[in-house]
Structure 1
């Protein structure tokens, strides 16, 4: 293939002819390609698959992480041990393209790898690497670890994604009308364009769109402006000129704020997150419009076909048999990792997602008496599984993970699994009866894991945050903790309120329904499968990106 004059290798649907490039730090495409950490990657992966389904004129741009995020292993006592192993990918094609970009006032070589759309049924994708012989050791390490803890390395990674990705498009003569940033990591692309257009910010705005995922200002990345400047983040723009664009006071550069100033339009990732984002950023003059486009997951990848066939044919026997089979498959993984033998006839709860403080992985354990009562309930027995990757330097979340591991040693019906990637995620969603999601409201921007769980007949029990308000009908397709006046509560009060409500719903509604009224439980499962299939399928999301972000004038 001639990558210097690249053409999309499939026929473009005339509805999606606007040429877009999608920049993301991580993509969860397939288990074998370990270049993702969590929800942002799962979202980006589903987007790339849907771009292929709809035959959109989109290319994906990311980084080829030599060691991925990290491999989640265990110490001798079962506690968490992050390990880094070099990844090998024979299915990626060497484009033969090499070019230089400036990082920290020095030229750094960038090599480019290509993922053909037919391999995993995605949009064409390009992955950037600095791990080439021409670079010094420090430059080589830029693409080693996703979300490196070192601040300078992290900024260099953003420059590689943004500036490197934008320069790649120039190198390939592949004109793009839309530069879509998934989070602000790729913002250096905007400064590359600003330089290319001789400082014409209006021309940059015509091309730039931005998806923001963070529902509170403190969570948006800020770095020392001088350090960003020294790292060559701004493609030659002076600090005064940058301040004029970004517009906040002080010595810190706010990446998301600057993206909102340089983009033509932006979107939050659920209706609630759009509302929260508009309120949060409205105090700053000159930001672009923020719409809402709710995140989604690709149905073809996540949904269990056999379950849907049984549901659509109204064959309850086959439906229940299939769900039990999926549970048995998951329980083989549980047995292999923990030595616990789980029973497919017993109600199984799963909490699985990135470990982060606000997601409250251990909330059920805040009331130990009630937790033990739940685990030892002979009338309504339960099994509980936890899984998820804390950030390797987030010692508080690692401590939570390890506390759960220690507690699990006392119970044969409690398990904590390692290796929460696409494969295990799919098994957990297929094999769970209940998908537990209890973030502090309104901290969860979207939280898509519950969507793909519902596509596998796993019923959501959630606090009323992220995408849940758009989906949930309590007792019909899911179960939801009723919202409270959280703004006037302390964190302690909020946690206590949510904890009590979760236990009440579990003890008084969910468990009696599952064991005493299996027909009604199956109806809840199937309602969830019906309600999630189209509205929260990423084909809808990818279509809305074109409709609301790329072609807003139509």
Structure 2
């Protein structure tokens, strides 16, 4: 392939002929390609698969992380040990393209790798690397660790993604109508375009669209504007010019706010998150319209086809047999990692996602007495599994993970697994009976893990946040805890309120249904599978991006 004159390697569906470049710090494409940390990557990976399914004129642009996010290992006492291993990918093609961009006021070489659509059935994808002999050590390390803890390195990563990705499109003569930023990490692309268009912000706005995933202002990244300037973030713009665009007088540069002022249109990632975002940013002038396109997951990738076939054939015996088989398969992983032998006839709860404070991984343990009763209930026995990757410098989240590990040593029906990536995620969704999700409302912008769990016959138990209000029919396709007036509650009171309701639903509704009325439980599973299949399939999402964001 002639990468200097790149053309799409498949025929484009005329419905999706608008030319799009999609910038993301992470993509969860396949277990073999470890360039993601969590939900943002899972979402971006499903988007790339659906772009392929629908034959859209879209290319993905990311970074080839030399060490990935990190590898989750254990210390001798089973607690968390982050390890860093160089990754090698023979299936990526060296494009032969190398060019320079300015990062940290120096010229840095960028090398480009290509993922052919046929390998994992994705949109064509390009990954940028600075780990080349021509660069000094500091420049090489820009692409070493996803979400590096060092502030300067992190900003340099944003410059690499945004400015490097935008320049790559020019080098390849790959003209794009739309530059889609999945979160504000790729915002330097906007400043690259601004320089290219001679300072014409309106021309930049014609091309730029922005997806925000953060439901509170404090969670949106801010960095010292002078540091960003020194890191060549603004492609030659003076600080005064940047401040005129961003519109904030203090020394903190707000990436998301600036993206909302440079984009033509933006979107939140659930209907609730759209409302929260519009309210959150409404105090600022000159921001673009914020719509809502609810996140989704690729049905073809996540769903268990034999389970769906049994459901569609109305074969309850085969359906139950298949689900039990999937549980047994997952329990082999549990046994291998922990030495605990789980029983496929016992109700199995899974909490698995990124470890972050607001997701409250250990909420059930806040009432130790009740937790003990739950795990030792002879009438309604329970098994419970946790998995997830804390950010390697988030010591609070690591402490939560390690506390769960310590607690698991006292129960043969409790396990904490490491290595939460695509393969383990898929196995846990297929093998769980209940997918537990208990974030503080309204901190979860969308949350997509419950979608792919429902595609595998795992029933959601969730607080009423993110995508759940659009999906859940309590007691019919899922279980949802009641909402309180969270705005007027302390975090302590909110946690206690949600904890009490989680236990109430578990003890009085879910467990009796599973054990005493298996036909009803199967009906709930199958309702969830039916309701998630189309509405929360990423083909729907990729179609909506074209029709509601790219072409308006």
- Normalised by the length of structure 2, the TM-score is 1.00
Aligned counterparts of 1:353 and 1:280: Cα–Cα separation in 2: 26
In structure 1, the partner of 2:517 is 517
In structure 1, the partner of 2:229 is 229
In structure 1, the partner of 2:537 is 537
- In the alignment, is residue 39 of structure 1 matched against residue 39 of structure 2? yes
In structure 1, the partner of 2:378 is 378
In structure 2, the partner of 1:402 is 402
**Cα RMSD, aligned residues only:** 0.3
Aligned counterparts of 1:551 and 1:198: Cα–Cα separation in 2: 25
In structure 2, the partner of 1:551 is 551
Superposed CA deviations along residues 349-408 of structure 1, whole A, max 9, x for unmatched, are: 000000000000000000000000000000000000000000000000000000000000
Aligned counterparts of 1:106 and 1:45: Cα–Cα separation in 2: 32
In structure 1, the partner of 2:340 is 340
Superposed CA deviations along residues 92-142 of structure 1, whole A, max 9, x for unmatched, are: 000000000001111000000000000000000000000000000000000
In structure 2, the partner of 1:125 is 125
- In the alignment, is residue 176 of structure 1 matched against residue 184 of structure 2? no
Superposed CA deviations along residues 509-544 of structure 1, whole A, max 9, x for unmatched, are: 000000000000000000000000000000000000
Aligned with 2:300: secondary structure?
Answer: helix
Q: Residues 129-140 of structure 1: matches in 2 within 5 Å?
A: 129-140=129-140
Aligned with 1:118: secondary structure?
Answer: helix
In structure 1, the partner of 2:209 is 209
In structure 2, the partner of 1:457 is 457
Aligned with 2:267: secondary structure?
Answer: strand
In structure 1, the partner of 2:240 is 240
Aligned counterparts of 2:87 and 2:105: Cα–Cα separation in 1: 30
Aligned counterparts of 2:374 and 2:483: Cα–Cα separation in 1: 24
* Structure 2: 5+ residue stretches without partners: none
- In the alignment, is residue 433 of structure 1 matched against residue 433 of structure 2? yes
Aligned counterparts of 2:298 and 2:211: Cα–Cα separation in 1: 18
In structure 1, the partner of 2:95 is 95
Measure how far apart 1:249 and its partner are.
Answer: 2.5
In structure 2, the partner of 1:141 is 141
In structure 1, the partner of 2:104 is 104
Aligned counterparts of 1:141 and 1:230: Cα–Cα separation in 2: 18
Superposed CA deviations along residues 323-358 of structure 1, whole A, max 9, x for unmatched, are: 000000000000000000000000000000000000
In structure 1, the partner of 2:252 is 252
Aligned counterparts of 1:152 and 1:485: Cα–Cα separation in 2: 40
Aligned counterparts of 2:229 and 2:121: Cα–Cα separation in 1: 39
In structure 2, the partner of 1:220 is 220
- In the alignment, is residue 3 of structure 1 matched against residue 6 of structure 2? no
Aligned counterparts of 1:443 and 1:162: Cα–Cα separation in 2: 27
In structure 2, the partner of 1:22 is 22
Superposed CA deviations along residues 440-499 of structure 1, whole A, max 9, x for unmatched, are: 000000000000000000000000000000000000000001111111100000000000
Superposed CA deviations along residues 224-244 of structure 1, whole A, max 9, x for unmatched, are: 000000000000000000000
Aligned counterparts of 1:101 and 1:551: Cα–Cα separation in 2: 31
In structure 2, the partner of 1:328 is 328
The runs of at least 4 aligned residues of structure 1 exceeding 6 Å deviation read none
Superposed CA deviations along residues 232-291 of structure 1, whole A, max 9, x for unmatched, are: 000000000000000122100000000000000000000000000000001000000000
* Structure 1: 5+ residue stretches without partners: none
Q: Residues 270-419 of structure 1: matches in 2 within 5 Å?
A: 270-419=270-419
In structure 2, the partner of 1:69 is 69
Aligned counterparts of 2:80 and 2:105: Cα–Cα separation in 1: 39
In structure 2, the partner of 1:472 is 472
Aligned counterparts of 2:226 and 2:306: Cα–Cα separation in 1: 56
Aligned counterparts of 1:341 and 1:285: Cα–Cα separation in 2: 58
Aligned counterparts of 1:410 and 1:248: Cα–Cα separation in 2: 53
Aligned counterparts of 2:77 and 2:211: Cα–Cα separation in 1: 41
Aligned counterparts of 1:344 and 1:248: Cα–Cα separation in 2: 57
Aligned counterparts of 2:486 and 2:529: Cα–Cα separation in 1: 30
Which one is further off, 280-289 or 242-251?
242-251
